Structure 1
Amino acid sequence: MNALVEADDRLGGHQSLAVAALQGRAHVLELQERNASERVRRSLYALAAEFTTIAAWSCIDVRDLDAAQRHLHESATFAGLSQDPPTGMRVWINLAMLAYQRQNWTEQLAAAQAANVTTAARRDPFFGSMGRMRLALAHSSLGDSRAAQRTLDTAQEALGKATEDDRPRWTAFYGPAELNHLAAIILNHDGESANAEAMAHRALAAIPAEFQRNRALATCQLALAQLRQGEPEQATATATTVFTIMAGVSLPGRMRSLIGDFHRDLFRLAPSTTYARDWADRMREEWSRA
């Protein structure tokens, strides 16, 4: 399972990752057929939930949202049977992410609120911070920028109280760098492009090298922030580095959607420039890799 999480960190979601995760789940469920103690059975259900959530997250990343919904409903069942707080937290976080991709803002808010009242969020400031960031994103999606900023502040405060505990491998993506990346998303959405640029720079200065996909996503936010401040040439140079970061692999669907947003805004602002035409040529080349 950890190997699948590491593959997702590097390359993002892809179909073969989802298939491998579901194969892992099938093996775990086969083990459930054997005699085992209650503690072992709960651990196996937690593993089944984790594998299914990896498959769901991969589907979210490639924007196969209907498949992601089915997998997350299955994950919720396994997580409930496991009685494992971090696993339950992960399912709610992914449900909030899925609702965000579907632009179902009320469902996003409900899932984020559910994440914030889980046992994991109440007991551990690290998970509390993670839940509050999802809540801040939900407030921003609903147009409540004041609530978004207030919740963002509490997420940062909670993360500052978190200790270096032994947590599941999937949590390794979250820390000050990811918090700043998510803050850049919120600030870009709320029209605070200068602050969004600052947060994106902070994120990129701290994202570990192995989180290739997250680095590329933060770079997308930086490019969008620069573009919305009237710096299309600089923004285009920034956006082009996304392709270098992803090292020529096919971009996950979620990232392609962000790049598409940048492309439309660029050609609205500077349609006849040389750098915009060069960008379009490069984007067509990268799109053909899919």
Structure 2
Amino acid sequence: MAETKNEALAAWMNDHQMSAAELAKAVNHAIRDLTGKAGSTSERTAFRWLSGENQWPQERQRRALETVTGRTAGDLGFVPRGNRRTAPSQEDLSVHRRRFVGAATGTAVAVSVPLIAAPSRPSRVGTADVIRLRDHVETLVAMDAERGGHGALEQAALAGASEALDLQKRSTTQRVRQRLFALASDFTATAAWSLIDAGRLDSAGRHLDRALTLAGLAQDPETTMQVWNLRAMLARQGKRYAEAVAAAQAAQATAAARRSPLHASLAHGRTAIGLAYQGDQRGALRSLGRAEETLSRADVTAPRPSWIAFYGPAELYSLTAIVRDVVGNPAEAEAAAYRALAALPASFRRNRVHTTARLALAQLHQGEVEQACVTSGEVFTIMNGAPLSGRTRQMLGDFQRDLITLAPSARIAHEWMDRYRTEWSTL
């Protein structure tokens, strides 16, 4: 293949694990859906796009590429020649894309009906089906970011897993079959996460057992790492700290963590939290140091799977705040929480709420009762009436318990309980 000059297209293909031949096939499927007539895009054509030899595909190929990828031609690294009509707007592009993938909207109503239904299905399953299902994973991730874990999200994710497993039973290649198993694992892990975030821990373990089996069938280290990460979180919230450490160490041992400093950093951070709750201060701080060191070697701007999109310097500061507070260093925990809040993107509202609650705990554990009460009240301001996740409610419950213990007669403590107890317990 000629030297790659279209880095944007190459990056998208690498992120979606798609070869030139598979891209050509997906484009031809999209052309058929858009025009009613199958396309004739070849693997060589895809190579010409990558090499820069063809910098502006013909119109129907361009529209198909935009439909398949969800990005404009310009975003994919293509440059129009002369005075050609500009690329479609993102609004127009989303209309074409919905026609191709049949994606459900990311609303609470949408997940009350079958999420993965498609109008018609060819006898053979291919890359286009994988892309369609992966788009639905992204839809669920967006729903989680907006609403947090809830029953409708769990059911939508399980429907996605069922769809992927049904498809893998039909005629397809081994590579596509493994991708479908990986997607089924991703969907099932998402269902587990929705329960963990909602504080419904009992059923989450069964989903994670299933997700780990599916990841093994897929022979996919990425989804395997995803499941072990969630297993560590579930065990820690269930106060099974030895299991939390073991799960985090299993995450460290995955091929995904061995080849990616970003993944390795997250696994070390989870280990640090488990060790902190076990009472192993030295081990916890050692693991925290490894998390910091490996993250310093990671390219945090590189494309990454949606499940780990949350992780970066801000999240590591948040994990540091937890570890430092648990091992008895609340001043260091407060400083880390402030750094996390400063580094968090504005769109990560629920992360900001969780870190704000952690900051309030660190302040309370230093005896700063009044400031801690003010800080914890910011949680409700940030959410602005939206539901709190089960994890956040649990943390506010911890805050109230410690508040009563540390300042049982303080006026500010009673005012906090009178003002927020009902709101916190019902949101």
* Counterparts of 2:421 and 2:352, CA distance in 1: 22
Per the alignment, residue 90 of structure 1 pairs with 226
1:47 paired residue number: 183
RCO comparison, higher one (Cα < 8 Å, 6+): 1
Aligned-pair CA distance for 1:6: 2.0
Q: 1:167 aligns with which of 304, 307, 314?
A: 304
Using the alignment, how far apart are the partners of 2:144 and 2:363 within structure 1? Answer: 28
Letter in 2 for 1:137: I
Alpha carbons 1:10, 1:211 under 8 Å: kept:
no
Secondary structure at the aligned position of 1:173 is classed as coil
SS of the residue corresponding to residue 149 of structure 2 reads: coil
The residue that corresponds to 1:209 in the other structure is 346
- Which secondary structure does the structure 2 equivalent of 1:6 belong to? helix
C-alpha distance in 2, partners of 1:98/1:108?
A: 8
The 5 Å alignment of 1:9-158 reads: 9-158=145-294
TM-score by length of 2: 0.66
In 2: Cα distance, 1:289 partner to 1:257 partner = 12
Give the secondary-structure state (helix, strand or coil) at the position aligned to 1:48.
helix
Q: CA deviation at 1:86?
A: 1.1
Q: Residue 157 of structure 1 aligns to a residue in which SS?
A: helix
Partner of 2:395: 258
Listed one character per residue, the Cα deviations across residues 193-240 of structure 1 (whole Å, up to 9, x for unaligned) are 000000000000111122222111111110001011111010000001
State how far apart, in whole Å, the 2-side matches of 1:267 and 1:183 are.
25
Q: 2:393 touches 2:425 (CA, 8 Å); kept in 1? A: no
Distance apart, 1:273 and its partner CA: 3.7
Unaligned runs of 5+ in 2: 1-136
**Matched residues in 2 for 1:139 and 1:5: separation?**
29
Q: Given the alignment, which residue of 339, 357, 361 partners 1:224?
A: 361
Letter in 2 for 1:254: R
CA-CA distance at 1:278 after TM superposition: 2.8
Q: Which of 184, 190, 199 is the matching residue for 2:327?
A: 190
* Aligned equivalents of 1:54, 1:210: Cα separation in 2: 20
How far the C-alpha of 1:97 sits from its partner, in A, is: 0.6
- Unaligned runs of 5+ residues in structure 1 are none
1:239 to 376, 379, 393: 376
- How far apart are 1:146 and its partner, in Å? 0.9
Letter of the 2:209 partner, please give it: H
Aligned amino acid, residue 312 of structure 2: G
2:408 and 2:346 mapped to 1: Cα distance? 34
> Identity of counterpart residues, as a percentage?
52
State the number of aligned residues. 290
Hey, what's the Cα distance between the residues in 2 that align with 1:72 and 1:39? 23
Deviations 1:43-62 (A, max 9, x none): 11111111100110111111
How many angstroms does 1:288 deviate by?
Answer: 5.5
The structure with the larger Rg is 2
CA distance in 2, matches of 1:72, 1:185: 24
* 2:125 matches 1:7: no
- Which residue identity lines up with residue 168 of structure 2 in the other structure? Q
Q: Partners in 1 of 2:356 and 2:148 — Cα distance?
A: 15
Q: How well do the aligned residues superpose, as a CA RMSD in angstroms?
A: 1.4
The Cα of 1:170 is off from its aligned counterpart by: 1.4
Instruction: Give the SS at the match of 2:309.
Output: helix
- Specify which structure has the higher proportion of helix: 1
Kindly indicate whether the alpha-carbon contact (under 8 Å) linking 2:149 and 2:198 is maintained by their aligned counterparts in 1: yes
Contact 1:9 1:214 in 2 (8 A): no
Show CA shifts across 1:164-186 (max 9, x none).
Answer: 43221111100000000000000
TM score, norm. by length of structure 1 = 0.96
2:404 match:
267
Give the whole-Å Cα distance in 2 for the aligned partners of 1:45 and 1:245: 38
Q: Aligned partner of 1:49: which letter?
A: S
AA matched with 2:394: S
Shift of 1:160: 0.8
